[in-house]
Amino acid sequence: MRRRHVWMIAASLIVSLASGPLAIAYANRVSYRSDLKWCAVVTTITEAYRVEPPSTPTGKELEQNLGTLRQDLRCPPAPPPTLPK
Per residue in 2-47, pLDDT (tens digit) is 888 888 888 888 888 888 888 899 998 898 888 888 888 898 888 8
Residue 80 has pLDDT above 80, yes or no: no
Residue 83 has pLDDT above 70, yes or no: no
Q: How far is CA 42 from CA 6, 21, 37, 68, 82, in A?
A: 54, 31, 9, 10, 15
Phi–psi pair at 61, nearest 5 degrees: -65, -40
Residues 53-67, mean pLDDT to the nearest whole number: 93
Residue 77 has pLDDT above 80, yes or no: no
Dist CA 71 CA 39 (whole Å): 10
Q: Which residue has the higher pLDDT, 76 or 83?
A: 76
Please state whether the predicted TM-score (pTM) of the whole model is above 0.85. no
